[in-house]
Amino acid sequence: MTRLEIEQIPVLRDNYVYLLHDPTSGATAVVDPAVAEPVEERLALKGWTLTHILNTHHHDDHTGGNLALKQRYNARVVGARGDSQRIPGIDLQVADGDSFLLGSAASMVMAVPGHTLGHIAYWFPESLALFCGDTLFAMGCGRLFEGSPEQMWASLLKLRGLPDDTMVFCAHEYTQSNARFARMVERDNEDLLARIDDIDARRSRNLPTVPSPLALERTTNPFLRADVESVKKGVGLPGGDPVRVFAEIRRRKDAF
Ligand code: ZN
Ligand code: FE
């Protein structure tokens, strides 16, 4: 039973980079290093040596630090097989259903296409930690740059099926604006209204709203609720097919 120590590093405008440390073996990974320097600083502070770089997808604000960190620590870069041409410095190619071992901590790789076609998530069951990049956000989801609404909805359903107490470590602090949008979709959702108060309080003290428990996303994230009647009605599609409803929520958010 290996519980990872997890460090959250805010970088750039609103990105979160994570350090995962297995205390048993000393293995240490960084997830989606947008930039190298703040990662190096945090590693030095913790006294950890980087062994792995885990990428969820190819975008610059998730891979920009790959090469510098790889060179400095001789770390192994892990990314999606489907994105092997686009992940800088990739060493180990993984695909849906693969398990990846960080020291003694096992993770499962989940293909979650939508934001990009090669997007993957890393699920560490013993730590109840999900690293989902730009697929699922707190009360939001990533824009569909490459995939279809069908693909993204299927990806979100996979993530929605993980255990209640899973913590969702997404890659951006977009929660407050996501919350304003969510309230427009579901005005009478009590869980949502309570969560918005909590988020506003945290942001006013400059505290992160990430990670969040999956159970809370299920009850408050409109993008995980395209099959719930109140959300269907909220976007003017009562009784609508979930994929169609999901596409409409995404379309409205893009224009929000
Ligand atoms: Zn992205
Ligand atoms: Fe991003």
CA of 161 from ligand 1 middle (Å) equals 23
Give the pair of three-digit tokens for residue 60.
């610059």
- Residue 124's pLDDT band, with cuts at 50, 70 and 90, is very high
pLDDT digits (tens, 9 = 90+) for 62-97: 999 999 999 999 999 999 999 999 999 999 999 999
Give the pair of three-digit tokens for residue 93.
């190619």
The pLDDT of residue 130 is: 98
Who surrounds ion ligand 1 at CB < 5 A?
Answer: 59, 134
pLDDT digits (tens, 9 = 90+) for 149-198: 999 999 999 999 999 999 999 999 999 999 999 999 999 999 999 999 99
The pLDDT of residue 24 is: 95
- Over residues 193-210, the mean pLDDT reads 97
Q: Residue 118's closest CA among 163, 74, 149, 87?
A: 87
Q: Residue 32's closest CA among 104, 115, 96, 97?
A: 115
Quick one: angle between helices 242-254 and 149-160, nearest 10? 100
Give the torsion sign (CA, 69, 75, 81, 85).
positive
Integer Cα distance of 58 and 83 in angstroms: 7
Judged against a pLDDT cut of 80, whether residue 1 lies above it is answered with: no
Q: Looking at the CA of 13, name the nearest ligand.
A: 2
Active site residues: 57, 59, 61-62, 115, 134, 172
CA of 143 from ligand 2 middle (Å) equals 10
pLDDT digits (tens, 9 = 90+) for 37-65: 999 999 999 999 999 999 999 999 999 99
Domains located in the chain, CATH noted: 5-169 (3.60.15.10), 175-254 (no CATH)
CA of 68 from ligand 2 middle (Å) equals 19
The pLDDT of residue 2 is: 80
CA of 188 from ligand 2 middle (Å) equals 31
CA of 52 from ligand 2 middle (Å) equals 20
